[in-house]
Amino acid sequence: MTPVNPEKYYFSKIQLYDPNEIINYGIQKQIQRKKKRKLAKLEKQGIFIGRDPIKLLKKANKSSKSETNNTDLISVDIIRKKWKIASLRAQGVKVKDDISLLKKAADKVHKLKRKRAKNWRKRVEANEEKKRERQVKRTTNIQARRTKRLSKKLNKAREKGRIFFACE
């Protein structure tokens, strides 16, 4: 018996196509819309799935505030939410429900952004410094060429007897 490829089968659902090979733009948009709707529905329930920790943290804080305000949540709703999270995790979805971990991830992102901004500033300053140095070098070279040309002209004129210097 040949081994089953886990990428082709999902919990009694057979995947009939590879999502990366879809050519029809309309079908791609439809699939993306379905994913967005599913995500929005889960976020309404207080279940967060996504990549951006900053946005997820904001949404989690907002939902936790609304949950604290809404004290009449029935224990059945809480149990349903826990079951939904468990089933999603069983399917292999990464559910981000730990606010402390979201805070750490958001801090990490902020730290990385600050580091990149700092490096960028250093790079810009270094470029400006190089530009200034090149400009100074250019002006000195132009000045040197000018004085050399003038002295050459004066020497030729002196040799031909057109100019007489009183200091000689």
State the residue for tokens 């699939």: 31
pLDDT at 31: 85
How does pLDDT run across 139-156, given as a tens digit for each residue? 999 999 999 999 999 888
**CA proximity to 101, closest of 39, 23, 48:** 48
Residue 42 has pLDDT above 70, yes or no: yes
Exposed/middle/buried for 56, CB within 10 Å: 0-12, 13-18, 19+? buried
pLDDT at 147: 96
pLDDT at 41: 87
Task: Output the six-digit token pair for 18.
Answer: 């590879």
How does pLDDT run across 3-36, given as a tens digit for each residue? 666 666 555 666 666 766 767 778 888 888 998 8
pLDDT at 55: 87
> Rounded distance, CA 59 to CA 50, Å?
11
Residue 168 has pLDDT above 60, yes or no: no
Tabulate helix, strand, coil % of the chain (nearest 5).
70, 0, 25
How does pLDDT run across 70-105, given as a tens digit for each residue? 666 677 778 888 898 899 889 888 888 888 999 999
CB 99 within 8 A of CB 56: no
pLDDT at 47: 85
